[in-house]
Amino acid sequence: MKSFRERVFTVVKKIPKGKTLSYREVAARADNPNAARAVGAILKTNYDPKIPCHRVIRSDGGLGGYNRGGMKQKKKLLQRESALS
């Protein structure tokens, strides 16, 4: 059985370009709907460019964190993918 961490990365890898999911939605799809904060902690440790963690945002529409280049980079990536206006 995959660990929660592995399930989170699997879910995030499947987020298509131009789309986003909230930390809560990722947690639910990884079979632990109450673990949105844990999703954030897991993604904070991701440095694999094949896992598009920039596509995970807060439930209120805020960007949340991003460990590869900061918030400006996350916003730039999402705008480039037409996931933000």
Question: Mind spelling out the 3-state secondary structure of 18-56?
Answer: CCCEEHHHHHHHCCCCCCHHHHHHHHHCCCCCCCCHHHE
Q: What is the residue extent of each domain of the chain? A: 4-80
Which candidate in 8, 11, 36, 53 is catalytic? 53
- pLDDT the model gives residue 83: 93
- By the 10 Å C-beta count (0-12 exposed, 13-18 middle, 19+ buried), 48 is classed as exposed
For 4-80, CATH gives 1.10.10.10
Active site residue 44: no
8-49 pLDDT, tens per residue? 999 999 999 999 999 999 999 999 999 999 999 999 999 999
